Amino acid sequence: MLFHVKMTVKLPGDLDPAQAAKLKADEKDLAQRLQRDGTWRHLWRIAGQYANYSVFDVPSVEALHDTLMQLPLFPYMDIQVEGLCRHPSSIHSDDR
């Protein structure tokens, strides 16, 4: 199942800079691992925001929920999720 996910990060202003740096590094490591295994299919930065648009490929809504909750920055995110389905006018057979 494909899901379009918008994640907006809102770190508290008083968060210790060292803790923020560790969270960001851990987030990057996990995001790259999930991209390599095909779970996090696409990842785009939204220009001018601490936010991204992503496409996840997971077997279920529950799997998406579990994946998002693993993200180190999850406690500091506003997340919007939309399910995706194939468009009949798409010329791409592999949904990529």
How much is the pLDDT for 90? Answer: 87
In a domain, 89, yes or no: no
**SS3 for 57?**
strand
Q: 30 is in which domain, residue-wise?
A: 2-84
How much is the pLDDT for 32? Answer: 98
pLDDT digits (tens, 9 = 90+) for 6-60: 999 999 999 999 999 999 999 999 999 999 999 999 999 999 999 999 999 999 9
**Mean pLDDT of the chain, nearest integer:** 95
- Distance (Å, rounded) from C-alpha 27 to C-alpha 21? 10
Q: 0.95 exceeded by the pTM?
A: no
In a domain, 32, yes or no: yes
Number of domains present in the structure of the chain: 1
77-84 and 2-9: which strand pairing?
Answer: antiparallel
In a domain, 26, yes or no: yes
In a domain, 95, yes or no: no
Percent of the chain past pLDDT 70, that is, above it, reads 98
In the chain, the amino acid numbered 85 is C
In a domain, 91, yes or no: no
Q: What is the CATH number of the domain that holds 21?
A: 3.30.70.1060
